[in-house]
């Protein structure tokens, strides 16, 4: 079985995901999914386990990076102590909570998948991708990128939810649940970017860049996406058509 990978990114020192122990409806579904014996990867086809062992490290890095980014922005807004920020703070906390649940669920799956030789390399490539995104950027630019990435993740999760595993497969079900959250995150991140000064032209510029860079990262695992019936070219063509 898979050894525990070190995290791509450390947990926030003070996580707002723990502020409110309650879960929204979709969050509760993910909590119920996680650790449920019927969803245990041991019962999955070996070839599916092998493919997912290569893909989940990519997904995990994104979830862990997002937790840190949203946590840091929540802290910044709290320090400002402005009533105008309270509604956005609440929305950002809900995103951090969602990402923490996704992280926990995907970690649980990965812990019960076979060890694959390339796992650390895959994680390293993903860590480098996400670490580069926020370097030397304004908060506005960073949240434009986050909204764009979340749109990409939404489409990827949609593809995994409807892949060759079958829509009733436990992992496909999990991806469908995560997709619902990520679609909400697109809206929240976009709205926050706009509050920070983002324009439509800025979004269009970053969408082309970010989708291209993410595509380069994901095609390193084309073999394993294809094994599950996910056509990456179709995923990114769909995104481009939505952004035109």
What tokens appear for 183 in the block?
């679609």
**pLDDT given at position 136:** 64
The residue segments making up the domain with residue 126 are 26-243
Q: Judge whether 2 lies within some domain.
A: no
Q: Where residue 228 sits, what CATH number does that domain have?
A: 1.10.620.20
Longest Cα separation, the chain: 53
What tokens appear for 155 in the block?
């489409």
DSSP state of 115: P
Q: Judge whether 163 lies within some domain.
A: yes
Q: Judge whether 158 lies within some domain.
A: yes
Q: Judge whether 157 lies within some domain.
A: yes
Tens-binned pLDDT, residue by residue, of the chain (244 aa):
555 578 998 888 888 777 665 678 999 999 999 989 999 999 999 999 999 999 999 999 999 999 999 999 999 999 887 888 899 999 999 999 999 999 999 999 999 999 999 999 999 999 999 988 877 679 999 999 999 999 999 999 999 999 999 999 999 999 999 999 999 999 999 999 999 999 999 999 999 999 999 999 999 999 999 999 999 999 999 998 888 7
pTM of the full structure = 0.94
The answer to whether 12 and 69 have CB atoms below 8 angstroms apart is no
Give the integer Cα–Cα distance in Å for 30 and 27: 5
The total of structural domains in the chain comes to 1
**pLDDT given at position 20:** 60
* Nearest to 213, CA basis, from 135, 140, 125: 125
Give the integer Cα–Cα distance in Å for 51 and 56: 9
What tokens appear for 60 in the block?
């995990």
Give the integer Cα–Cα distance in Å for 98 and 35: 17
What tokens appear for 70 in the block?
């949203």
Q: Judge whether 102 lies within some domain.
A: yes
Give the integer Cα–Cα distance in Å for 60 and 62: 5
Q: Judge whether 161 lies within some domain.
A: yes
What is the Cα Rg of the chain in Å? 17
The answer to whether 102 and 117 have CB atoms below 8 angstroms apart is no
Q: Judge whether 176 lies within some domain.
A: yes
What tokens appear for 2 in the block?
């898979």
Q: Judge whether 21 lies within some domain.
A: no
């Amino acid at each position: 079985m898979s050894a525990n990978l070190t995290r791509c990114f450390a947990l926030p020192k003070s996580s707002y995901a723990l502020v409110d122990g309650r879960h929204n409806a979709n969050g509760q579904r993910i909590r119920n999914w996680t650790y449920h014996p019927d969803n245990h990867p041991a019962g999955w086809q070996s070839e599916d386990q092998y493919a997912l062992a290569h893909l989940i490290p990519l997904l995990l890095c994104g979830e862990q990076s997002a937790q840190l980014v949203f946590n840091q922005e929540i802290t910044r807004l709290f320090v400002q102590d402005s009533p105008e920020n309270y509604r956005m703070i609440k929305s950002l906390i809900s995103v951090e909570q969602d990402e923490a649940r996704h992280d926990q669920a995907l970690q649980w799956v990965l812990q019960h998948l076979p060890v694959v030789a390339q796992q650390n390399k895959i994680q390293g490539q993903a860590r480098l991708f996400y670490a580069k995104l926020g370097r030397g950027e304004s908060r506005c630019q960073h949240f434009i990128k986050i909204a764009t990435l979340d749109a990409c993740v939404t489409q990827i999760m949609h593809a995994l939810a409807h892949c060759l595993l079958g829509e009733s497969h436990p992992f496909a079900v999990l991806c469908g649940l995560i997709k619902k959250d990520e679609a909400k995150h697109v809206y929240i991140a976009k709205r926050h970017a706009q509050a920070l000064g983002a324009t439509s032209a800025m979004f269009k510029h970053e969408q082309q860049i970010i989708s291209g860079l993410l595509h380069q990262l994901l095609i390193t695992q084309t073999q394993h996406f294809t094994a599950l019936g996910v056509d990456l070219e179709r995923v990114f063509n769909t995104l481009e058509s939505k952004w035109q």
